[in-house]
Chain A
Amino acid sequence: MIDAENVVYDYPSSRALRGVSFVVRAGAVLALVGPNGAGKSTLMRCIAALDVPTEGAISVQGLDTQTDPRAVHASLGYLPDTYGLYDRLSVRQCLIYAARSRGVALADAPAAANAAAARVGLGDRMESLAGHLSRGLRQRLGIAQTLVHRPRVLLLDEPASGLDPEARASLSELIRSLAGDGMTLIVSSHILSELEDYCSEMLMLRDGEVVGGGVVRLDGAARPDAAGEDGDAAQAAPVPVLVRVAFAVPAGELIERLGALGLNVSRVEGEDAILALPPDPEAETATLGALVQAGLPVRSFSVVKQTLEETYRAAVTGQTPGPGAPEAGRSATAS
């Protein structure tokens, strides 16, 4: 869906992007993370065909951003971090203009505007002036303007910046809903907890470079198309899956017994052991079977959900991440 190859972007005073390569598959919600100044917004602008990379190429839905920028503009929705609205226009006028200026036919524009407004929960405020909306509602209107022409790709640069907790929760819900419709999203932020709820993949930037080997699946599975900086997919470092195993009785020699089964024990906490498994669902099944077969009294077996921050740190440092809360829907209990 989005393919970046060796993208370099120079500002007069510095290099903002240094050979960035990655692939975003269709339907993914990619978290673009990194500290301030990492190059996230620059990369977003290059993907949106608003800035031209000094070197390298980016394609969106097969359209090259340099040779066919207008087609790229038409194919995506982009909400910059410093988005603006026409404060003296009503929500309806803003959305009708957005629809018309993005190629929606005159006859279809009112319906498209109504649909976009309903999508972001502004259906009852169509006659309000944009300048009279709260920050959270303005953010929603901004997003509605970007999706009024029903693009397949949406780029949101720091969308939750400055929003209160309620507005953030509502934004998360909206993004999950858009992702549920099969839209491909790239959402950038330097606050990782913002992205936790809805992102399925993560790309980490630091000083204009991809760190962590490329795109990381947040369920722990390594992406087959996740290319490293040198474009070599094999270089992408798989992030291990952590599994918390609770045993029915304390086992003094648990580490030795687990080690004897060839398992990688991250640590033992009382009756629980944290195992680091390869990012493969079959490895989880095989491990559970091996534990039961070895006669270990397994009480529960659950994948530990890693926070985005833990995954980020793990990918950056190459260390095994620490455990967090068990991931819902992916736990198993041995009987």
Chain B
Amino acid sequence: MHHMTLAEIARGLAEKKFSSEELTKTLLARIALLDPQLNSFISLTEDLALQQAKAADARRANGESGALLGAPIAHKDLFCTQGIRTSCGSKMLDNFKAPYDATVVAKLAAAGAVTLGKTNMDEFAMGSANESSYYGPVKNPWNLEHVPGGSSGGSAAAVAARLLPAATGTDTGGSIRQPAALTNLTGLKPTYGRVSRWGMIAYASSLDQGGPLARTAEDCAILLQGMAGFDPQDSTSIDEPVPDYSASLNGSLQGLRIGVPKEYFSAGLDPRIAELIHNSVKELEKLGAVIKEISLPNMQHAIPAYYVIAPAEASSNLSRFDGVRFGHRCENPKDLIDLYKRSRGEGFGPEVQRRIMVGAYALSAGYYDAYYLKAQKIRRLIKNDFMAAFKEVDIILGPTTPNPAWKLGAKNSDPVAAYLEDVYTITANLAGLPGLSMPAGFVDGLPVGVQLLAPYFQEGRLLNVAHQYQLNTDWHTRTPTGF
């Protein structure tokens, strides 16, 4: 039962082969058995899950249908869930029960999805290895000595280990696509503004975007359908009709123009990954796609720009965690400054503190023009590169990451080395474009992802290409040993 995808579950429930309650119980038991190896969940919500499963079964018995009705999922632990701990992977919010549901949580609940729990993540979504979590690192089910990627590492590991079919994630610089690549999943970061950020605890507001992690493009389409849409509570949400993503899966790739940026294949890329990417290009050519070499000349500036903009926004976004109204408060503060210093010093881990300091520095008087404004200019240049490229091609293709999953702790002493792993994913966030990572093979038994980028609101095109690719390859069906 645990091997089923969302699409298979929807068919099984519709054909009454099993109930949502049975499925939920099975998966909860599997999580209890296997998750101790992975640490992919921060909180399990068994009672809520069973209650939602029964309610979904009742709705189905009353003649309702829907791909998500009774489907088990989990939320990255930065989506606010009413009455349930929403920790952001931080000691700061270890005691925080959100007083409301995020729009994504509410929409999926309304569609009948069953929430099994809240998944582990890098603290405040800051990280690419899921090692900065207050709740401990998450292990990669493909090799328990390796990281699963981050920051949505808990969601990725859980879905890859078949603990559940799909989960939500968020992507600020690659936090859906990179762990998807490192755990052999399909993960989609939608266009900025496609999925509401209301109730999604902010890391970097102008870059954050929620999206699905699943084992197939077909499942990503199902989950994204439940997440996307205009939300008047989010001023950056865009009032654009949501297409039927599942219906977009089956288009032919005949004549599809795929651009491959030459800058992607420079020194930092593992040559074995480069080869797998070329193989996937050949596969898509067989399906009728036309390949074209393109250039994204400003790509090299993306990481520095990102590591100014994201920390700058974070330094401000995280100011509300001050020990006054919610979250961690230090013992016996002697005055206001002491309350602030110790509550924040104790509540935030080192990576979060590092980014707050970098961000505050970049925004401070006398440095703002040199850092923040400059980074915004680079951001515009990167966006312009994409706009120019998309005049010539329909999709941009390349590796999701320069390396496969590294060993736990391997990059702890060098934060910049970890930042460099985001080189391929960050540009989509800076430009606000949709991006998808899908399985493309293995290196040393560790999964490799291929990334597709598309113009604004062309999530359907990304899912279409990925689905057609998955109909003709079987990388995405591979299962990690022991799961």
Q: Check if A and B associate.
A: no
Taking Cβ atoms with an 8 Å cutoff, the residues of A that contact B are none
